[in-house]
Chains A and B, each alone.
Chain A
Amino acid sequence: MTPIRFSPSSLREGHWYEYLIRFALGGAATVFTGLISSRYGASIGGLFLALPAIFCASATLIEKHETRRKREAGVAGERRGQKAAALDAAGAALGALGMLAFAFVFSLTVASSIPAAFIGASLAWLVASVAAWYAWRKVRPARRAWISTKSTGSAISRSRHG
C-alpha cells in the first residue's frame, strides 16, 4: 500500500494572501532569472533556475500552519512547526536530485527535440524524486535502529566501565 495520500483540506488552512505571496515570489524569481541571464549570460542565469527562492516562503508557511494547528489543540507548537519545516527541507533535498535529473536530461535532449526535452526532463524529475524518496524511507528506519542500538550499546558500555 502506498503511504502517499491527498489531503485537500490543507488548502483551507491557508489565507488568500499566502497564495498571492507565492504567486508573486514565483513570478519575481522567474523575472529575476531572466534579468540575470540577459545581464551576465546563460550560464550564470542557468544557476538561478535552481534558486530556492520559493522554498523560504513555503517552509515558513508550513512552520506557521503546524504551530497554529498544535496551539489550537492546546499544545506548544513551535518545536513541531520547526520539525514540520525540517521534514519539508529533507524532502526538498531529495527533490534536488530530481532537479539534477531534469537538468541532465534537458541539456542532453533539447538540441534534438524541444517537446521531447520538456517531457523527458519532467518525467526524469518525477521518477528520480519519487525513487529517492522511497529509498530514503527504506533506509531511514534501518539507520534509526542502528543509531539507537549504537547509543544503547555505548550507554551499557559506559555503565560497565564507568
Chain B
Amino acid sequence: MTEYVVRFLVGGVVVSAFAMLGDVLRPKSFAGLFAAAPSVALATLGIAVYRHGADYAALQSQAMVAGAVALAVYSVVVCHLLVRAQLRATPATLLSLFVWLIVAFGLLALVGGQT
C-alpha cells in the first residue's frame, strides 16, 4: 500500500512539474514536447530500480520503445482529428487511445515481448 502511495505522490509531482514547464514555454509546438516528456517513466523506472533492480528496469525500458513509437503515431492521429475532422480535444485524444493500444501491443507482439 505504501508503495502505491509513494508512486502516486512521485508520479503526481514529476508529471505536474513537466506540465507546468510546458505551460510557460512558447511557441505551443515547442511546449508540446513536454506533453510527451518521460515523466511517468522517470517516476516508474526510479521505483522499479529501487524495488526490483536494474534488469527489471531495463526490460521495462525496452518495451517502452514500442510505447514511444505508438505515442508518435497517436499524436499525429490526434493532430489530424483536430485539424481535418475538426473534433474537439477531449474526443480526439480519447478516441486516439485505441490507436495507441493497437500500435503499442502490435509492436510488442511483433518483437515478442517477454513478461
Question: Tally of A-B residue pairs with Cβ under 8 A?
Answer: 329
Interface size class of A (residues with CB under 8 A): 35 or more
Chain B: residues with Cβ within 8 Å of the partner, total of: 86
Is there contact, CB below 8 Å, between B19 and A44?
no
Interface of B is mostly: helix
Q: Please name the residue on chain A nearest to B23 by beta carbon.
A: A10
The residues of A with any CB-CB pair to B shorter than 8 Å are: 3-8, 10-11, 14, 19, 22-31, 33-35, 37, 40-56, 58-60, 62-63, 79, 81-100, 102-104, 106-107, 110-111, 114, 117-118, 121-122, 125, 129-130, 133, 136-137
The residues of B with any CB-CB pair to A shorter than 8 Å are: 3-4, 7-16, 19-20, 22-49, 52, 54-72, 74-76, 78-79, 82-83, 86-90, 92-94, 96-97, 100, 104-105, 108, 113-115
Decide: A26 near B89, CB < 8 A? Known: A47-B66, A89-B75, A96-B71. Answer: no
Q: Please name the residue on chain A nearest to B70 by beta carbon.
A: A50
Q: Which residues of A contact B83 (CB under 8 A)?
A: 82-83, 86
